[in-house]
A and B are shown apart, each in its own frame.
Chain A
Amino acid sequence: MYTFSSKLKTFSLILMVLGAIGIGIGFMASPKTIEDVEKILAADSHHGHEASHSEKVAPHAAEVHNTEAHVVSDSVKADDTHAVDSTHTEAHAVADSTNHADVAAPAVADAHGNNHEEHANADVHSHDDHKAHLEHVLHQLKNKPWAALYVACIFFMLISVGVLAFYAIQYAAQAGWSPILFRVMEGITAYLLPGSIIFFILLVAAGLHFNHLFVWMDPEVLDKTSVKYDKLIDLKSGYLNVPFFLGRAAFFLIVWNLYRFFSRKNSLAQDEASDNTFYKKNFKMAAAFLVFFIVSESIMSWDWVMSVDPHWYSTLFGWYVFASFFVSGITVIAMVTLYLKSKGYLEHVNTSHIHDLAKFMFGISIFWTYLWFSQFMLIWYSNIPEEVTYFVTRIEHYKLPFFGMLAMNFIFPLLILINTDFKRLTWIVVMAGIVILCGHYIDFFNMIMPATVGDQWFIGIPEIGALLFFLGLFIFVVFNALTKAPLVPKGNPLIEESKHFHY
C-alpha cells in the first residue's frame, strides 16, 4: 500500500493556495470599463509604433507583412467579432489597406508607398472605429482570466481522460506488459471526477454569460435586428446552442466517469475473486468504452475547443486534440510511475516498462506532429481565406508559442527519445516528460487563447495561477487515490507476465 507522503501533500496544498491567489488576482486585475482599457492601450501604443517602424526598414519583411495584412483584413471583413489586431495603430493600418489597396493583388508596392499617408488618414477618420476597438479589447481582457482557467482546467481533465483511454486500450488489447501499471493509471484517472465537475461548472458559467469565451453563446449574434447578427453562427445554431451543448457535455462526462468508476470497481473486485469474471467484464467494458470514446472525443473537441472559433472548422481536429492529450496522459503515467518507483513502491516495475512508456511518448509525439502538420499544411497550402485566418492570427500574434510548441512537442522528444538506452534512464524520461507536458499545455493555450483573448495574451499571473491550482489539485487527488488500493493488481490474469516483462 502506498502512503501519501506529507511533504507531497503539503506541496500540493501550497500549489492550490498559490494558484487560487493567482486566479483571484487575475479576475481582480481585469479591466471593468473602457477607460481602463484606454489606459492599458496607451501604455502599450508607444511600443507598437516602434515595432511597425522596424518592420518597414527591412524591405523583405515589409513585403511579407503586406501580404499577410491582406489576409488579416479579409478576416476582419468576414467576422468582426473576431477581428484580430495586434496593436491599436497597426490595426488601423491593416483595416485601411483593404480600403485603399482593394482586393487586387499587385498593390503590394503601392500599399507600401502609401503607408505613411494611410497612417495619417487613420488617425483622423476613425473615432467610431476607435471606440469599437476599445470595446473589443475590453472583451478580450475580461476573457483573459476565464480563458486562463479554462485552458488549465481542460488540460488537466483531458490528461486523465487520455490515461483512461490508454487504460482501456491496454485492457482491450490484453497487453501483457502493462497490468503492473494499472493501479497507477487508475490513480491518475481518479482526477476525472473532480476535474470534470469543475470543468462542467466552467461550461455552465459560460452558458450563463459570466464570460465571453464562446462567441456563439451571445444571444445578440442570433438576433437578426442586432448589429452583431452573425448569419454563419445562426446557421450553426441547431448544433451550437447552450442547452444542447451542456447536454452533450454532461452526457459525455457522465459516461466517461461511469466507465472509470465501474472498471476501477471490477479491478478491485478481481483481486479477491477466484475466477476471471471481473476481468472479462472489464475487457468487454473497455472495448465498448473505446467505441463510445472515439465518437464522444471527436464531438467533445468540436464543442469544447473548436467552437471558440465558430467560423472555423477542421475535419481532423478531433484526432489532433486526442493526440495532444493522449501523449500528455502517457507522459503523466510514466512520471507518476517513476516517482512511485523512486520511493520504492513499485518493485516489479523495471526499466523495460519505462522503456515501453517512453516508446509510447515518442511515438505519439510524432503522431501529434503528423496531425498538427497535416492540419496546418493543408490549410496553408490552399490558403482559403475563411480557413486560413485561424493560422494567420496564430502566426501573427502567437509566433513564439505556436512554433515553440513544435520544438517542445516534436523536435525535442524526437532527438532525445529516439535512443534506446536513453528511454531507460529516469532523468531523461522525466526531462522529456516535463518538456512534453509544457508543450502540450501551450498547445491547448494556442487552441483557446487566440479566439478568446486575441493579441492580449500573456502567460502571466492568471495563467500560471490557474496552472498551479489545477496541478496541485491533480497531485492531491491522484496520490490520494493511490493510497486507496494495493499497487499490484494481484487478481489480473496477466499480472505474472507483466511482472516478468523484459524487453
Chain B
Amino acid sequence: MSNKVIHAIYNDDDVLMDAVKQTRAAHHHIEEIYTPFPVHGLDKAMGLAPTRIAICAFIYGLVGLSIYTALMNYIMINDWPQDIGGKPSFSYIDNMPAFVPIMFEGTVFFAAHLMVITFYMRSKLWPFKKAENPDVRTTDDHFLMEVGVHGNEEELVSFFTSTGAVEVKVVEKH
C-alpha cells in the first residue's frame, strides 16, 4: 500500500468550503487543509471536534489562584506575621483585600501563559521547527486540501477537479 495523497488546490475560500462539504458527503477522509488565513466555519464543515483549550485555561487559572493564595498565606500570615503599617495579619481573611491584586494577577498569569504553552505543545510549534508546508502558495493566496488515496486514483482526481480545484496533484508522502 503506497501512501499517496491528493493535493487539491483552490484559490477561493468559498469554493474550498463547498469542496469540503462535497468531500465529506462523498466520504473521503480529509487529512489536512492548509489556508493562508482563518476560514470562518471551516472547522465545522470539516467536522473537527471543538477545542478544549478554554477548559484548560480555567483550570490553570484555578491553579494560579491557589498558588498565589498559599504563597501569600505562608509568607504574610504563617511564616512572619509582622505588623506592617497596622495591617491585620492575624488570619488570611483579615488582610485579604491587600492580597487580591496579587491573587488576580497570579490567576491571569497562570491562565494565560500555561494556555499558550499548551497551545504550542498540542499544535507542535517551537523555534527551529521544520515548516510542514506542502506548497508555498498556501501561505499567500491558495488553499490546499490533502486527501489520502485509497482505491481508484483517477476517480478521486476527477472528483476533486469537479469540485472547482484549480490544480489537483497526486503526491507521494513520506
Question: What separation, in Å, do the CA atoms of A126 and B14 have in the docked complex?
Answer: 87
CB <8 Å contact, B97 and A377: yes
Q: How far is the CB of A310 from chain B (nearest CB, A)?
A: 26
CB <8 Å contact, B90 and A60: yes
Most-contacted residue by chain A among B90, B94, B97, B98 (CB, 10 A): B97
Given contacts A64-B94, A418-B58, contact A377 B86 (CB under 8 A): no
A370 and chain B: residue at smallest CB distance = B104
Q: How far is the CB of B115 from chain A (nearest CB, A)?
A: 14
The prevalent SS among residues of B at the interface is: helix
Question: What separation, in Å, do the CA atoms of A64 and B95 have in the docked complex?
Answer: 12
Q: Does B15 belong to the interface (CB within 8 Å)?
A: no
Chain A residues with CB under 8 Å of B97's CB are 373, 376-377, 380-381
Question: What separation, in Å, do the CA atoms of A67 and B90 have in the docked complex?
Answer: 13
Chain B residues with CB under 8 Å of A373's CB are 97, 100
Chain B residues with CB under 8 Å of A376's CB are 97
B91 and chain A: residue at smallest CB distance = A60
CB <8 Å contact, B100 and A377: yes
Question: What separation, in Å, do the CA atoms of A383 and B90 have in the docked complex?
Answer: 17
Give per-residue flags for A264-278: 1 if the beta carbon is below 8 A from chain B beta carbons, else 0: 000000000000000
Q: Which of A46-85 contact B (CB under 8 A)?
A: 60, 63-64, 67
CB <8 Å contact, A64 and B90: yes
Chain A residues with CB under 8 Å of B94's CB are 64
Chain A residues with CB under 8 Å of B54's CB are 420
Chain B residues with CB under 8 Å of A383's CB are 86
B87 and chain A: residue at smallest CB distance = A381
B54 and chain A: residue at smallest CB distance = A420
Q: Which of B82-103 contact A (CB under 8 A)?
A: 86, 88, 90, 94, 97-98, 100
Give per-residue flags for A412-451: 1 if the beta carbon is below 8 A from chain B beta carbons, else 0: 0000001010000000000000000000000000000000
CB <8 Å contact, B98 and A381: yes
Q: Which of B47-90 contact A (CB under 8 A)?
A: 54, 58, 86, 88, 90
Q: How far is the CB of A255 from chain B (nearest CB, A)?
A: 38
Q: How far is the CB of B87 from chain A (nearest CB, A)?
A: 8
Chain A residues with CB under 8 Å of B58's CB are 418
Chain B residues with CB under 8 Å of A381's CB are 97-98
A67 and chain B: residue at smallest CB distance = B88
A418 and chain B: residue at smallest CB distance = B58
Question: What separation, in Å, do the CA atoms of A380 and B98 have in the docked complex?
Answer: 9
Question: What separation, in Å, do the CA atoms of A63 and B88 have in the docked complex?
Answer: 11
Chain B residues with CB under 8 Å of A64's CB are 88, 90, 94
Q: How far is the CB of A385 from chain B (nearest CB, A)?
A: 13
Question: What separation, in Å, do the CA atoms of A499 and B127 have in the docked complex?
Answer: 45
Chain A residues with CB under 8 Å of B98's CB are 377, 381
Question: What separation, in Å, do the CA atoms of A83 and B94 have in the docked complex?
Answer: 25
Question: What separation, in Å, do the CA atoms of A67 and B100 have in the docked complex?
Answer: 23
Q: Which of A330-386 contact B (CB under 8 A)?
A: 373, 376-377, 380-381, 383
Question: What separation, in Å, do the CA atoms of A420 and B53 have in the docked complex?
Answer: 13
Question: What separation, in Å, do the CA atoms of A380 and B94 have in the docked complex?
Answer: 11
Q: How far is the CB of B64 from chain A (nearest CB, A)?
A: 15
Chain B residues with CB under 8 Å of A418's CB are 58
Q: How far is the CB of A205 from chain B (nearest CB, A)?
A: 38
Q: Which of A374-411 contact B (CB under 8 A)?
A: 376-377, 380-381, 383
Chain B residues with CB under 8 Å of A60's CB are 90
Question: What separation, in Å, do the CA atoms of A388 and B144 have in the docked complex?
Answer: 65
Question: What separation, in Å, do the CA atoms of A64 and B90 have in the docked complex?
Answer: 9
Question: What separation, in Å, do the CA atoms of A67 and B89 have in the docked complex?
Answer: 13
Give per-residue flags for B100-127: 1 if the beta carbon is below 8 A from chain A beta carbons, else 0: 1000000000000000000000000000
Question: What separation, in Å, do the CA atoms of A373 and B97 have in the docked complex?
Answer: 8
Chain B residues with CB under 8 Å of A377's CB are 97-98, 100
Q: How far is the CB of A183 from chain B (nearest CB, A)?
A: 30
Question: What separation, in Å, do the CA atoms of A63 and B98 have in the docked complex?
Answer: 20
Chain A residues with CB under 8 Å of B90's CB are 60, 63-64
Question: What separation, in Å, do the CA atoms of A380 and B88 have in the docked complex?
Answer: 11
Chain A residues with CB under 8 Å of B88's CB are 64, 67
Q: How far is the CB of A358 from chain B (nearest CB, A)?
A: 16
Chain B residues with CB under 8 Å of A420's CB are 54
Q: How far is the CB of A141 from chain B (nearest CB, A)?
A: 33
Question: What separation, in Å, do the CA atoms of A65 and B14 have in the docked complex?
Answer: 70
Chain B residues with CB under 8 Å of A67's CB are 88
Q: Which of A298-356 contact B (CB under 8 A)?
A: none
Chain B residues with CB under 8 Å of A380's CB are 97
Question: What separation, in Å, do the CA atoms of A116 and B100 have in the docked complex?
Answer: 38
Q: How far is the CB of B112 from chain A (nearest CB, A)?
A: 15
Chain B residues with CB under 8 Å of A63's CB are 90
A373 and chain B: residue at smallest CB distance = B100
Question: What separation, in Å, do the CA atoms of A373 and B58 have in the docked complex?
Answer: 22
Chain A residues with CB under 8 Å of B100's CB are 373, 377
Chain A residues with CB under 8 Å of B86's CB are 383
Question: What separation, in Å, do the CA atoms of A420 and B52 have in the docked complex?
Answer: 12
Question: What separation, in Å, do the CA atoms of A60 and B88 have in the docked complex?
Answer: 12
Q: How far is the CB of A396 from chain B (nearest CB, A)?
A: 15
A60 and chain B: residue at smallest CB distance = B90
A105 and chain B: residue at smallest CB distance = B86
Q: How far is the CB of B106 from chain A (nearest CB, A)?
A: 16
Q: Which 10 A-B pairs have the closest CB atoms?
A: A377-B97, A380-B97, A381-B98, A373-B100, A60-B90, A377-B100, A381-B97, A376-B97, A418-B58, A383-B86
Report 5 cross-chain contacts, Cβ distance below 8 Å, ordered by A residue: A64-B90, A376-B97, A380-B97, A383-B86, A420-B54
Known: A64-B90, A418-B58. 13 other contacts (CB 8 A): A60-B90, A63-B90, A64-B88, A64-B94, A373-B97, A373-B100, A377-B97, A377-B98, A380-B97, A381-B97, A381-B98, A383-B86, A420-B54
